[in-house]
Amino acid sequence: MWRLLLFFWRMLFFCMIVADVAAAHVRYSIPEEMAMGSIVGNIFQDVGLDVQRLKSGRARIFTEDSSEYIALNLDKGTLEIKQRIDREERCGQVSPCSLHFQIILNNPMELHHVDVEILDINDNAPVFTKREMNFDISESAVKGARFPLDSAKDPDVGSNSLRTYKLSPTDHFKLSILSRPDGTKYAEMILDALLDREMHEQHKLTLTAYDGGDPPKSSSVRINVIVLDANDNAPVFSQSRYKVTVPENSPRGTHITQVSATDADKGVNGEVVYSFSQNSDVASSVFNIQANTGEIHVVGALNYEKVKQYEIDVEATDKGGLRDTCKVLIELVDLNDNAPVISIISLSNPIPEDSPLETTIAMLNIKDLDSGMNGQVKCFISHDLPFKIKPSSLNFYSLVSNDILDRETVPEYNITITAIDEGTPPRSANKTIHLKLSDVNDHAPVFPRTFYSASITENNNPGVPFLAVKASDEDSGNNARLSYFLEDNPLKGMSASAFFTVNAESGEIMAVRSFDYEQTKDFVIHVKAQDGGSPTLSSNVSIHVLIQDQNDNAPQVLYPVQTGGSVLAEMVPRSADVGYLVTKVVAVDVDSGQNAWLSYKVHKATDRALFEVGLHNGEIRTVRQVTDKDAVKQRLTVLVEDNGQPSRSATVIVNVAVADSFPEVLSEFTDFSMHDKEYNDKLTFYLVLALAVVSFLFITCLLLIISVKVYRWRQERLFFKSNGALPVIPYYPPLYADVDGSGTLKQAFSYDVCGTTDSRKSDLKFSRQISQNTLSGDCTRTVPRPKTDLDNLLAEFEGIREKVTVQNWSLYCGLRVLAVK
Ligand SMILES: *[C@@H]1O[C@H](CO)[C@@H](O)[C@H](O)[C@H]1NC(C)=O
Ligand SMILES: *[C@@H]1O[C@H](CO)[C@@H](O)[C@H](O)[C@H]1NC(C)=O
């Protein structure tokens, strides 16, 4: 109302001014948008023209731009709105906005300027060019951040133009209205409260622009604020602690568990990456985690015996670097994957067989790495062994003997120790101890026989083994290494070692001398076998050594006596009957058995038909009646032969005188002796001669000794007597004495140079009688003793002396025969 009054007042004021200067200018002010036909002004009044003039002058309006907003009413003399005037269209923001035109009159020509000022009315509301405005604002935007808003446009001018803005709601933003230099106003949105995408992802606001009209006009625009996510949330694990159990030895790739974390942020800020934290590098060699899913798998070897549980810190990290951690506790479950292990800590091997009970043989340590029942171990050995296992302390056992041991029964044992755990399935281990028993000398040597007998042929070669004894010893080694010794018992009055020796190694028994059956027929010796133990054990065996006879002696003719020069003859009276016993050839053989079984044969005879010799008894008898034609001198050669292999023999010449008187015989036998001499071997004769010469030399040299000898022999001869039916044998046969003296014991290491007739005792009673009578006091036995060179020399000398003696004796006999002649 007030404004309307003011408007009229101003309009009135302008009209008055125009009227004042009608001659030149007329001015009007009209509001825009007046209706058609509305009167702008009255020309009559304002210019002073009347209707006539208007008509006569044919008044009209002239405009330079030919716009015809206003028309002239000639009748009324008024200017009227011909066309609606929009100030904004006509002038825009130019103010003031005026229409200029002229009223032209003719007759006379008159020109009047008219200015019509168009006054603004609030006919336009402010207008936003966009229907809505969109903003993307990060939630991390700081308070006070400014966001320019599009301005609204109001074509009205002056007070009708844009005056102000309003924003609603204003819980997060406030508005700041600013003016540009040209006076236009614009607004900025200022962040007043922090945004949180997680609470409100979008804000809808309305910006309203008001102009200054009365009433004011307004218009609004929508503002959409989208809150952009900022990485303001850390990932969060669903559990702070995960606990899983997994059997050991699970293969690679076994799924263990899955951890998960959530991140309230959006997009990449909400993307979570899982990893093991730095301090879990032990676990990371065994497990891995999938970065995007959080799945944990086995990648290494799980061994309960090494690590019983793993504690892993798992981190979940988003792209912005925010993180959370959780613990994953992985407990391994033991499996019976380890067999017990038996180790021998100490071992006594071998042990002596006489070890007492409970002797410790070995110390064992048995371990099983598994735990619980899987690690509980039982340990045993076979029941049939004489050993047992004794637990000593935890995991330690001792293997001890449990019975009496005997190496000779079982020399070694394979002791298999078995350890088994109590897992399912159980696992076991074996260990074998190869135990040897060492020998103890608990067995004496044993001979397979209690008694041996062996035989040696006489005249054996000393040193040739004739028997080997062998004992055995159940022990071993030195305890079974046997040596053989001869027990040095007295044997035939001497030490046994004088006769025999035993090879200590081989047990071979040898004679150390040559035996003479005729002297010794058997021996009983003892051989001891001794082992090498400590102390030693020994046993003995007796050995019966038989000496076997050899036909080493030829028969010896005892009668008739054969001498080189002597002539003896048996007398056979011519009246003798058939079967007359002429004489008996007496011979002995010092051998025994077959070797001494003598037979007699006539070898040569003057007249074979006259005499015969008893094959076994040697009796010479006549086989026919003696006649006068038979020669006085009869000569028989009798062969005495033993039954040995080969046989040995001797011959004896028997002279028989077939005569009735002794002178007859003597006359015949002078010849006979000459014949006899021829008959004798010439060599023997020369030998006798040579020996006589040698003897002679001895006589000259050792006259005194020979004299004594001769004296002795003579005395002995006086002792010689005839025995029984046999004729008197005036002296001892030289050959026999020779054999006896040196023939049977030829060996150099014998000192027994003086022949004894004792050995002949059992062989021939006859001979014994003779020898007892003749030589019993003559013989001396020397005890054998170690032989030296001096001894040899002495022996040789004795031999020679003896021979000389014999030869002297023979010589003496020869002389005697010659004396008889
Ligand atoms: C012990 O075992 C070995 C081989 O391992 C074998 O030669 C020996 O004969 C066995 N001894 C016994 C007494 O079983
Ligand atoms: C031989 O051994 C036996 C026991 O076997 C013993 O009685 C005897 O005395 C021993 N003989 C000799 C000569 O050592």
Tokens representing residue 250 in the block: 């699970």
Contact yes or no for 627/583 (Cβ under 8 A):
no
Concatenate the DSSP letters of all residues of 457-482 into one string.
ESSPPTT-EEEE---B-SS-GGGG--
Residue whose C-alpha is closest to residue 302's, from 271, 327, 335: 335
At residue 327, the 3 state secondary structure works out as strand
Q: How many other β-carbons are positioned within 10 Å of the β-carbon of residue 760?
A: 21
Rounded to whole angstroms, the Cα distance separating 156 from 110 reads: 38
How much is the CA Rg of the chain, to the nearest whole Å?
A: 87
Mean pLDDT value of segment 286-294: 92
**Residues 131-156 pLDDT 10s:** 889 999 988 889 999 998 888 888 88
Residue 703: pLDDT band with limits 50, 70, 90: confident
User: At 216, phi and psi to the nearest 5?
Assistant: -70, 150
Hey, whose CA ends up nearest to atom 9 of ligand 1?
414
User: At 110, phi and psi to the nearest 5?
Assistant: -130, 145
Hey, whose CA ends up nearest to atom 12 of ligand 2?
540
State the closest ligand 2 atom to the C-alpha of 489, by its place in the atom list counted from 1.
13
User: At 794, phi and psi to the nearest 5?
Assistant: -60, -45
Strands (E), 462-534: 465-468, 483-486, 490-491, 494-495, 500-502, 508-511, 522-530
Q: What is each CA distance from 278 to 240, 327, 461, 556, in whole angstroms?
A: 18, 13, 104, 129
Rounded to whole angstroms, the Cα distance separating 610 from 616 reads: 19
Contact yes or no for 133/226 (Cβ under 8 A):
no
**What is the model's pTM?**
0.48
Tokens representing residue 141 in the block: 């935007």
Instruction: Tell me how far the alpha carbon of residue 539 lies from the centroid of ligand 2, in angstroms.
Output: 7
Residue 283: pLDDT band with limits 50, 70, 90: confident
Mean pLDDT value of segment 617-622: 90
Mean pLDDT value of segment 353-369: 93
Hey, whose CA ends up nearest to atom 8 of ligand 1?
414
Hey, whose CA ends up nearest to atom 10 of ligand 2?
540
List CB contacts of 715: < 8 A, sequence separation 6 or more: none
Which pLDDT score is estimated for 183? 76
Instruction: Tell me how far the alpha carbon of residue 476 lies from the centroid of ligand 1, in angstroms.
Output: 19
Ligand 2 pocket (Cβ < 6 Å) reads 487, 489, 526, 539-540
Contact yes or no for 175/166 (Cβ under 8 A):
yes
Give the position of tokens 């798992």: 314
Contact yes or no for 571/583 (Cβ under 8 A):
no
Rounded to whole angstroms, the Cα distance separating 510 from 504 reads: 11
Hey, whose CA ends up nearest to atom 2 of ligand 2?
540
Would strands 70-73 and 110-119 be described as parallel, antiparallel, or unpaired? unpaired
Instruction: Tell me how far the alpha carbon of residue 735 lies from the centroid of ligand 2, in angstroms.
Output: 47
Residue 446 confidence (pLDDT) above 50: yes
3-state helix, strand, coil in the chain (%, to 5): 20, 35, 45
Torsion angle defined by CA atoms of residues 334, 339, 344 and 350, in that order, rounded to the nearest 10 degrees: 160
Shortest-distance ligand to the CA of residue 488: 2
Which pLDDT score is estimated for 22? 40
Rounded to whole angstroms, the Cα distance separating 206 from 219 reads: 10
Q: Is residue 154 classed exposed, middle or buried when 0-12, 13-18 and 19+ CB atoms within 10 A define those classes? A: buried
Rounded to whole angstroms, the Cα distance separating 315 from 237 reads: 9
Q: Which range has the worst mean pLDDT, 136-150, 312-326, 789-803?
A: 789-803
State the closest ligand 1 atom to the C-alpha of 413, by its place in the atom list counted from 1.
13
Residue 553 confidence (pLDDT) above 60: yes
Q: Which range has the worst mean pLDDT, 31-40, 51-60, 736-745?
A: 736-745
Tokens representing residue 435 in the block: 């135990």
User: At 245, phi and psi to the nearest 5?
Assistant: -115, 145
Residue 69 confidence (pLDDT) above 70: yes
Q: Which residues of 551-567 are buried (b: 16+ CB within 10 A; e: fewer)?
A: bbbbbbbbbbbbbbbbb
Contact yes or no for 613/601 (Cβ under 8 A):
yes
Rounded to whole angstroms, the Cα distance separating 155 from 87 reads: 10
**Residues 291-307 pLDDT 10s:** 999 999 999 999 998 88
Q: How many other β-carbons are positioned within 10 Å of the β-carbon of residue 261?
A: 23
Which pLDDT score is estimated for 685? 76
Hey, whose CA ends up nearest to atom 5 of ligand 2?
539
Which pLDDT score is estimated for 670? 57
List CB contacts of 323: < 8 A, sequence separation 6 or more: 234, 235, 315, 316, 317
Instruction: Tell me how far the alpha carbon of residue 492 lies from the centroid of ligand 2, in angstroms.
Output: 19
Domains plus CATH for the chain?
Answer: 2-119 (2.60.40.60), 124-230 (2.60.40.60), 231-333 (2.60.40.60), 341-438 (2.60.40.60), 451-548 (2.60.40.60), 556-660 (2.60.40.60), 680-820 (no CATH)
Contact yes or no for 646/610 (Cβ under 8 A):
no
Concatenate the DSSP letters of all residues of 352-421 into one string.
ETTPPTT-EEEEEEEE--S-GGGG-EEEEE-TTSSEEEEEEETTEEEEEE-S---TTT--EEEEEEEEEE
Alpha-helical runs (H) found in 159-220: none
Which pLDDT score is estimated for 528? 94
Cβ 83 under 6 angstroms from ligand 1: no
Cβ 414 under 6 angstroms from ligand 1: yes
Hey, whose CA ends up nearest to atom 1 of ligand 1?
414
Residue 820 confidence (pLDDT) above 70: no
Residue 444 confidence (pLDDT) above 50: yes
3-state secondary structure 140-179: CCCCCCEEECCCEECCCCHHHCEEEEEEECCCCEEEEEEE
Q: Which range has the worst mean pLDDT, 294-303, 423-432, 716-725?
A: 716-725
For the chain, how many residues are written? 821
At residue 774, the 3 state secondary structure works out as helix
Residue 744: pLDDT band with limits 50, 70, 90: very low
Hey, whose CA ends up nearest to atom 4 of ligand 2?
539
Q: What is each CA distance from 23 to 28, 43, 117, in whole angstroms?
A: 15, 12, 19
List CB contacts of 2: < 8 A, sequence separation 6 or more: none
Q: Please give the single-letter amino acid code of residue 543.
A: I
**Residues 652-667 pLDDT 10s:** 888 888 887 777 666 6
Shortest-distance ligand to the CA of residue 433: 1
Give the position of tokens 């100030």: 87
Mean pLDDT of the residues in the chain: 80
Q: Please give the single-letter amino acid code of residue 578.
A: V
Which pLDDT score is estimated for 226? 92
State the closest ligand 2 atom to the C-alpha of 487, by its place in the atom list counted from 1.
13
Could you tell me the maximum CA-CA distance found in the chain, to the nearest angstrom?
270
Residue 345 confidence (pLDDT) above 60: yes
